[in-house]
Amino acid sequence: MSKDSTNGISNGHSPHEYTVPLQINGKEVQTNIKYDVVSPETGKVIWQSSSADKADAIKAVEAAHAAFPSWSKTKPATRRDIFIKAADIFAASADEYAEIMMNETGATSVTAAGFNVPSSIEMLRDVGGRIATVTGYVPVAAEQGKSAIVYKEPYGVVLGIAPWNAPYILGFRAVIYAIAGGNTTILKGSELSPRCFEVIGSVFTKAGLPDGVLNVISCRPQDAAEVTTALIEHAAVKKINFTGSTAVGSIIAAQAGKNLKPVLMELGGKAPAIILKDADIKKAAHWCTLGAFSNTGQICMSTEKIIVHSSLASSFSTAFKESISQIFNPEEPCPVLITPAGGTKNKTLINEALSKGAKILTGDLDSQDFAGTRMRPIVVEGVTKEMDLFYQESFGNSVSLITFESEEEAIEMANDTEYGLSASVFTEDLAAGLRVARQIESGAVHVNNMTVHDEANLPHGGVGKSGFGRFNGTAGIEEFLKMKTVTWTD
């Protein structure tokens, strides 16, 4: 890497003069075509990024393919040491990397420095420590005199596609489980946060990852379809993982299916939080506030529907409004969405719900703080199944408040969705919490905690249109290993 590989904030360049390179086969690649990277907070260009075309995408695959024979034979200790060193390097520049994320995505310091960066460091260390624990096994063959062994082997080249909303966590996650298993990778990052993804590549290069094992590219939106198709259809690419919207995930899964390639999908959500009649109201209000409005609601696990027992509706509403004002102080700077389109979508969903009888409990659609990329928390009560807001993922700073009478009704409303990524249950009765959790159709359910919950050691993924397959922990590494059965006769 050149001396300017990741540090445009501190490398002597004015930020707008810096151009984010592609990273192919261990080298920085500046392309003729570039695009502006705009701060969602200021609306100004903060730097430019190189934009990959089809030829660049193919070069990235070829580099990964050439690196695979050697990398797939490395010992677990070698891989582990690189992962641990990468974690240390990332930690050493944590503040700078958090600032890059804040500039590109509009994230707060709490989200970037307090969550994304430390969670990424923990994930790197967790995966590094697990590499040696992945083993094959020796089953007993059916016939006398025969034996068998089952090997677990890497696929080859893996394509990981990651979004902007948690670029470090989701960017690392898109490649590190595959790399840990002996695969080589291409990380195609969102065009909205290319510099965050550049950081990922640079950190691994500095940690000693061999050239070609990780290649990092991004491209202009108008080139995304051609570039992504070229990557998926390339014969050397053996598996794809995608984190992002259900709509785009469906397209990628279809392309992969036409090429008979396996995929891991982590897609959208409509996470419910059920508040049973014995719940601790203040605790529920606190966690629902964080679950709904952290990162301006732009998290796939964000709480979208709060389903509260009717006997608690009034007291919970009061506690919820107090919690929102305490955690997201209206005197503080207004939360920021990544693009104005997010605000437009939320306003459309809320207005449609209001026209059908819903009411705003707190928040103001007409406020100057609901314009462009800015949006303060809005709570809509009286949301019913006749409203789009009940079913559609808002992916913004809004949440619906719905009441129920019976446990069965609450479960039915929680499950009345195409999605199934995360959910919460609030109760002082653990048996009741576990009983309800078992009946919610979701990849994860969290009792007495918010829906936004992702730990490096816990399998993470969804059901339904929230996707399939699992990241994290040993399950995450296993996703990128295929089994080979070998038998022999004595």
Burial category of 484 from C-beta neighbours within 10 Å (exposed 0-12, middle 13-18, buried 19 and up): exposed
**Cut 0.85: pTM above it:** yes
Q: Which of 266, 304, 393, 479 is labelled catalytic?
A: 266
**pLDDT at site 2:** 32
219 in catalytic set: no
**pLDDT at site 195:** 98
Do 92 and 121 touch, CB atoms closer than 8 A? no
Q: Please provide the DSSP assignment of 458-475 as one string.
A: S-B--SGGGEES-BSHHH
Residue with tokens 């598996």: 239
Which ranges of 214-267 would DSSP assign to H, the alpha helix? 224-233, 246-258
**pLDDT at site 368:** 84
Instruction: Find the angle CA(29)-CA(35)-CA(37) to the nearest 5 degrees.
Output: 105
**HSE-CB for 186 with a 13 A CA cutoff:** 31
10-residue mean pLDDT series, the chain (490 residues): 36 67 98 96 96 98 98 98 98 98 96 97 98 95 96 98 97 98 98 98 98 98 97 98 97 98 97 98 98 96 98 97 95 93 96 97 90 94 97 96 98 98 98 98 98 95 97 97 97
Report the C-alpha gap between 483 and 179 in whole angstroms. Answer: 17
Do 269 and 298 touch, CB atoms closer than 8 A? no
Which ranges of 370-406 would DSSP assign to H, the alpha helix? 388-391
Q: Which of 300, 304, 381, 393 is labelled catalytic?
A: 300
**pLDDT at site 128:** 97
Q: 3-class SS at 394?
A: coil
Report the C-alpha gap between 25 and 253 in whole angstroms. Answer: 27
**pLDDT at site 48:** 97
266 in catalytic set: yes
**pLDDT at site 53:** 97
